[in-house]
Amino acid sequence: MEETTTNQYPKAGTAAPEQLTNRDVSKAYLRWHFANEIPHSFERYLAAALLYGMMPVLKKLYKDPDRLRAAYQRQLLFFNTQLTWGGGIITGLMSSMESERAKEEYEHQPISMTDDLMYNTKAGLMGALAGIGDAIDSGTIQYIFIAIALPWAQQGSALGALFPFICFATYQAAIGLFFARQGFKMGRNATSLMASSGVQNAIEMLSILGMFMMGIIAGSYVTVNSSLKFTISGKKFVVQDILDQVLPGILPLATVMGVYLYFVKKGLKVTRALLWLTLILVVLAAVKIL
């Protein structure tokens, strides 16, 4: 990426950049949060949503129109990350770095917050933070809320549908605001937040809890029974009764583990997995094994 060299310093009489506050950073994050997938494009992915979130911040920092346009262009380069963990930290971090850049330009200091440094910082963080955020938010937290609400949904209560949606939306807004403020507060050292023992322990605990919840859901709501029966020496044997005494829940567990192993070997191809699972179950039912 080429470094911008034109209009390095503000024009005479240009107002000084305003001081950013936590409220400014929170506003920037919430704008990014609610615009996240709306201006999605194959060329820039989520960059337009990030710029939309950053616009009030950039307007407070850059009073010279040329420098404001340059900042817009800087934040409009290709960008793609997870909503809260990636978007929150990077929104706060970019606010901190842009604040320092605006100060350097106004005071005619050498520019340490270069265009390349800002973009490389984003590029280096957006993939790593997206992996963490997807695993925790989409892979664990939302299923915990769903597991809590499933009994209500089975009873026909609307709360079973509303509870996971409301709780997960509230959680994402809250955790995103927290990370945005921490990213702004810590500046370029924001990544140390992710490496801290507290965050790492929380991630590990949530991952373990998520695995327990998946087991609970599989055991409670996945039903697979064997209809196989046979008679030996005049004595009737019912396979399902034997399994319930020796290994209760083994068939639902085997089904879930089979799907899991399919995803491990073939990738997360959900539609294909469902088709194969349906075919296998139909065949087993036709031969009276299930």
For residue range 35-71, list pLDDT tens digits in order: 988 888 888 889 999 999 999 999 999 998 999 999 9
Among 41, 45, 34, 54, which residue's Cα sits nearest to residue 81? Answer: 45
Decide: 144 and 95 in contact? Cβ < 8 Å.
no
Do residues 264 and 125 share a domain? no
Report residue 208's pLDDT band, with 50, 70 and 90 as the boundaries: low
Report residue 1's pLDDT band, with 50, 70 and 90 as the boundaries: very low
pLDDT in tens, 65-100: 999 999 999 999 889 888 999 899 999 989 988 988
Separation CA 47–CA 39 (nearest Å): 8
Do residues 217 and 238 share a domain? no
Instruction: Please tell me the predicted confidence (pLDDT) of residue 166.
Output: 93
Is the pLDDT at 231 greater than 80? The verdict is: no
pLDDT, averaged across the chain: 80
Do residues 159 and 248 share a domain? no
Among 115, 53, 46, which residue's Cα sits nearest to residue 81? Answer: 46
DSSP class of 138: I
The number of folded domains in the chain is 2
Decide: 97 and 90 in contact? Cβ < 8 Å.
no
Instruction: Please tell me the predicted confidence (pLDDT) of residue 188.
Output: 54
Instruction: Please tell me the predicted confidence (pLDDT) of residue 6.
Output: 41
pLDDT in tens, 162-185: 999 999 999 999 999 999 998 888
Do residues 208 and 234 share a domain? no
Separation CA 165–CA 243 (nearest Å): 37
Do residues 170 and 235 share a domain? no
Residue with tokens 């005049």: 234
Do residues 96 and 174 share a domain? yes
Do residues 44 and 138 share a domain? yes
pLDDT in tens, 273-285: 888 888 888 888 7
Out of 181, 205, 221, a domain closes at 221
Q: Is residue 150 part of a domain?
A: yes
Domain with 99 in it: 11-221
- Joined together, the tokens standing for residue 106 give 């106004």
Is the pLDDT at 228 greater than 60? The verdict is: yes
User: What are the φ/ψ torsions at residue 60 (nearest 5 degrees)?
Assistant: -75, -25
pLDDT in tens, 113-164: 888 888 888 887 887 788 788 888 887 888 888 888 888 888 888 888 899 9
pLDDT in tens, 241-261: 777 777 777 777 788 888 888
Q: Is residue 5 part of a domain?
A: no
Do residues 81 and 190 share a domain? yes
- pTM of the predicted model as reported, rounded to 2 decimal places: 0.64
- CA distance readout (Å), 100 to 2, 95, 111, 116: 20, 9, 9, 15
Do residues 142 and 258 share a domain? no
DSSP class of 109: -
Instruction: Please tell me the predicted confidence (pLDDT) of residue 117.
Output: 82
User: Nearest-5° angle of CA 143, CA 147, CA 151?
Assistant: 155
Q: Is residue 76 part of a domain?
A: yes
Quick one: how many helices (H) and strands (E) in the chain? Answer: 12, 2
- Joined together, the tokens standing for residue 219 give 């055991």
Instruction: Please tell me the predicted confidence (pLDDT) of residue 148.
Output: 86
Q: Is residue 4 part of a domain?
A: no
Do residues 15 and 39 share a domain? yes
